Each structure stands twice: as C-alpha cells, then as structure tokens.
Amino acid sequence: MKRITLISTGGTIASRWQGTGYAADAGGDTVLASAAVPDGLEVRVVDLFNINSSQMTSGRQLTLLRAVQDTLADPDVDGIVVTHGTDTLEESAFLVDLHHDDPRPVVFTGAQKPLGASDGDGPGNMYDALQVAATVRDLGVLIAFDGSVYAARGTVKTQTLAAQAFGDPSRPQALGKLGFGRVDIRRTPVRPDPLPVPKTADADLPRVDVVMHHSDADPTLFDAAIAAGARGVALVATGAGNATPAFADAVAAAVRGGVLVAVTSRVPAGPLAEIYTGGGAVDLVAAGAVLTGTLRAGQARIALLATLLADGDAELLRRLVTDPE
C-alpha cells in the first residue's frame, strides 16, 4: 500500500458558486471525494489553505514549502500531491522545487473548471497526480495536468481557460504522459543543487517586484519599486532581453544599492542572450543584471526571492536561473 499525502490549498479545483462568481471553499476531503483513487493508495489530507490562487503570497508559499518538508520527514510517506489554483501554480511549484532535496515526488495539480462541473477536469487531474506521486522518484517537483507531466522549472500557464493549461514554451514536449494506467516519463530533468529551507519569519520577507518594458516605457516604475523597498526586481524586457539606455542606468544604480535585478522576456519562448547594446541585454548585464535563460516573469521573481532568502548574491541567482539542460 502506497501512502500519499494530499496538501490542499484551494483554487478552482476546490471552487463552488458563491452567487456572483466562483471561489475556493471546499476542503481537501471534498475535493478528493470527487475523484477516483488509484488502486493500492492510501491518501491522507492536509488542509493548508482555501484560497483562490490569485491570493497567494510569498508567506503562504513558504508555509506550503515547510508543510512539504514536514510531510516528507515521515519515512512512511511515499509522495505528495498539492492541489493549487492554476494562476500562480507555476510560482509555488518552482519555489518548492528549488528547495526539494528528497527523491520522493511532489506533484502539483488543479483544475480549469470548478468542483462539481459536469465536464470538470479536476477529478481526472487528481487521479493522474496521485498516480504520478505513487510511481516516480528522483524527478523533483512535477505538475500533472490534462494527461501530461511537466517539470516545475520552466512550466507556465499557457491557456487562460482551456483544459490543456500548462506547458513549457521553450520545450514543447512534456516530461511525460499518462494513460491506460501508465506513467510514461520521457526524460529526467536536470536541476540545480537544492537550497536549504529558509527560516525567515513572514514579517522579514524581502519585497520582490516585477516591472515590464514596452514601447514608451521609462524607468519610473522600476525606480518606484526600489523606492518602495524592493530588494529584488524582475525586469520583463523585450526580445532576448532588451530595454533602453535609461533602464540600463537605472539597473546600474539599483545594483550599486544592493538590489538584485533579473532580466526576463515578455516573449513566451526561447533563451535570453547578450546581442544588443543601446540598452539591450549587453548593457543590462554590464550594469549588473542577471539574465534568466528560459524562465519567465513569475519564476524569475521566485528565483530572486529564493536567492534573497538564502542571503545569496548575483552568483547564486545566476546558478538558479541558468538553464541546466
């Protein structure tokens, strides 16, 4: 008998009609009862939160990380499933993955349609996630959704409403597939060495902001983030990591002040690269920013947060964001 712990945090998979819209209000036992459970599994439920994932915070993500670590302290646990809203699932899964140092799997899943919908996808996703959690090892944190398995790193929400909600735009082929009672894993993701779980109190969490470049952008919002106390900023640049000379100057000033700056792109797929000057990635890197490879805004921000919580510097950030494959 395999023992799986289900950590429930809310999201659409736990959402019901509230009169004006849907909101998470169902506990983990109710969500689990909506799905079939694969044979040979015993599932224990931990109700951690019951929130829409747009309400996720860094403090809650750290609570989730610690709950995962506490659960895996029990040697009788074979794996973990985390039910989570899809809007910020990619961020929470990546944070847990950066600190995950156990061969047993942690599998995130959720739903695009609410609890009880006649054509709901939650029950199937739950079944698949339980099956993955009971089957694989040494793959880090995973996402099981719509019959596919993805590595946490690089996987983002790619569809607002469609059932096939997740993917890694830079690696179109999923890590694995599910079907007919089988979990077919096609490759092993390469991951950086895991970080220790931070002991930072929620009151001491560093502020980390995201600022986007666009045609008429100037550094006003970037500078405002620094003025508001941001210790890290993810700059969502254009193309392969390009902005303007004014942004390069603002980045240089921020770095001199001890702020970590990561540069990502608003383009869905592909790596960042030092190609252009005139405020492009060449100048941003010279100013002290770190390019984030194929990681996009949400996960670039999480890498900044994890670096700061580890009292790390640009070198640690570079290790966390450099594409290891």
Strands 106-109 and 79-83: parallel
Q: Could you give the count of Cα atoms lying within 13 Å of 174 in the half-sphere of its Cβ?
A: 19
Rounded CA gap, 180 and 82, in Å? 23
End-to-end CA, the chain: 35
Rounded CA gap, 233 and 81, in Å? 31
Catalytic residue at 57? no
Q: Of how many residues is the chain composed?
A: 325
143: tokens are: 């996402």
192: tokens are: 């950086």
> Which residue of the set 5, 9, 12, 135 is catalytic?
12
In angstroms, the Cα distances linking 62 to 68, 118, 191 are 10, 34, 20
Tell me the one-letter amino acid at 51: I
Rounded CA gap, 246 and 251, in Å? 9
Place of tokens 């952008």: 217
29: tokens are: 């036992």
Sign of CA dihedral 157, 206, 315, 211: positive
Residues paired with residue 233 on neighbouring β-strands, in sequence order: 209, 261
Active-site annotation, residues = 12
